[in-house]
Amino acid sequence: MVKAYIALGSNIGDREGNLRSAFENLEAKMTVLKGSSIYETKPMYLENQEWFLNCAVEVETELTPRQLLEFLKSIEKEFGRKVVERNGPRIIDLDILFYGNQIVTEDDLKIPHPRIQERAFVLVPLAEIAPQLVHPIIQKTITELLAELNYDKSEIKKASVFESP
């Protein structure tokens, strides 16, 4: 069993309902150990869209990184996610942030997620559930990465609490 961290995001339809349903779907193939609060966050990169709800979960899984990616993509497909525009609106977005201490570099799979350190919408919820987790490439904790990030704190606010196991 490996501990992995997954980011969840949604900015279309019932955003909170989408996150909660995706959370439940994760439990089909892994054990969810912790879930962060849900945060409302301003869109990054492509700002002309609705604000997102984001959270992070810690899971324990027997799936390989590739199997985990395929499982997450199958959940996105089940929700009807279509990639129309990079960083655009989405019903659900599920990203592998970390998979144990492994470093994976493939064309369509990079672990740790390559842009964690620039994303408050990932670091804030992740710091809530894994503040001392060390990034295996950067060699800093999530708390340290968040402290170094220059971001507008008004653009990320706690929206609700996730009931984690």
Catalytic residue among 15, 20, 86, 90: 90
Is 90 assigned a catalytic role?
yes
The alpha-carbon radius of gyration of the chain (Å, integer) is: 15
Amino acid at 125: P
The Cα 80–Cα 1 span in angstroms is 30
List the structure tokens of 148.
Answer: 């170094």
Task: For residue 81, indicate whether it is catalytic.
Answer: yes
Q: Which of 95, 107, 115, 119 is labelled catalytic?
A: 95
Given the residues 15, 20, 93, 119, select the one marked as catalytic.
Answer: 93
Identified catalytic residue from 14, 20, 66, 81? 81
- Which position has the token pair 């929206």? 159
| Annotation says 95 is catalytic | yes
Task: Report the SS3 class of residue 98.
Answer: strand
Residues with catalytic annotation? 81, 90, 93, 95
